[in-house]
Amino acid sequence: MTKPILELNDIHTNVTTADGQSIEILKGLNLKINSGDFITVIGTNGAGKSTLFNTIAGTLKPNSGSISHLGNDITKLSEEKRSKFIARVFQDPKLGTAPRMTVVENMLLATKRGEHRFLIPRKLKQNLPYFEELAKSMNNGLENRLTTFVSNLSGGQRQALSFLMATLKRPDILLLDEHTAALDPHTSQNLLAATDERIQKDNLTALMITHHMEDALKYGNRLLVLKSGQVVADYKEEEKKKLHLEDLYNFFED
């Protein structure tokens, strides 16, 4: 059998509060992610969803437990080194892009994720048709703003750019941390549709945190429910297809 692309074993992760207290957020979390999985992740506020992403990305180191990537132990690997194979898109449109650079300059930098990065004007010209095609695929006019400074883009265009940048150099694991939450409903649905299309087309492995149960049901082949720092449900393929909104709302009661 092929090795999981990522495996988390008995992960315990603490965070330090403003008054210096260390509190355990992930409490013995286990998860196996297979190549091509598109997993939607839901759970109450404070369930540990972002802490899970921080632990996967290496922003936070677990107190105990292990993480392996294609069978190799990466528990102690730095965030920078993990960025060679893990890409992340955040909720905040200001994160993940360089505001004083143009759209295409940002895209060129993204082709070197996890490496030393500098801009070569010749490469920019060579890649222009490809970048334009990618921008078009986002269906929000980004292709008409290729030489615009990122700070002048709309929130939706900026998030679409962040998403493209995270996927330009194929990541083994793509982490989408409520990447459409700051957008209006129409813009959000547009970006989600473009996200899904790219994930399917490139057969990417992705985890997507969302507070919208409809989206959690609609997208992906797997649905994970987090509660108090543990996985309390993990619906795969056929099981997920049979789920209804009420089934998910039940997890948010008490």
Ligand X SMILES: Nc1ncnc2c1ncn2[C@@H]1O[C@H](COP(=O)(O)OP(=O)(O)OP(=O)(O)O)[C@@H](O)[C@H]1O
Which of residues 17 and 72 has its CB atom nearest to ligand X in the complex?
17
Kindly list the distances between the CA atom of residue 223 and the CA atoms of 116, 149, 156, in Å, as whole numbers in the listed order. Answer: 36, 37, 25
Tell me whether residue 16 or residue 64 sits nearer to ligand X (CB atom): 16
Q: How far is the CB of 31 from ligand X (least distance, A)?
A: 15
Contact of 86 with 173, CB cutoff 8 Å = yes
- The nearer residue to ligand X, 48 or 62, going by C-beta atoms, is 48
Q: What are phi and psi of 231, to 5 degrees?
A: -80, 115
Binding site for ligand X (CB under 6 A): 15-17, 25, 43, 45-51
In the 3-class helix/strand/coil scheme, how is 222-240 assigned residue by residue? EEEEEECCEEEEEEEHHHH
Residue number, 50 or 162, with CB nearest to ligand X: 50
Distance CA 197, CA 195 (A): 5
Query: Whole-number minimum distance, CB 250 to ligand X, in Å?
Result: 18
| Nearest distance in Å: CB 53, ligand X | 8
CA atoms within 13 A on the CB side of 187: 17
Shortest distance in whole angstroms from residue 227 CB to ligand X? 9
Residue type, 124: L
When the beta carbons of 44 and 154 are compared against ligand X, the nearer one is 44
Least distance from C-beta 108 to ligand X, angstroms?
32
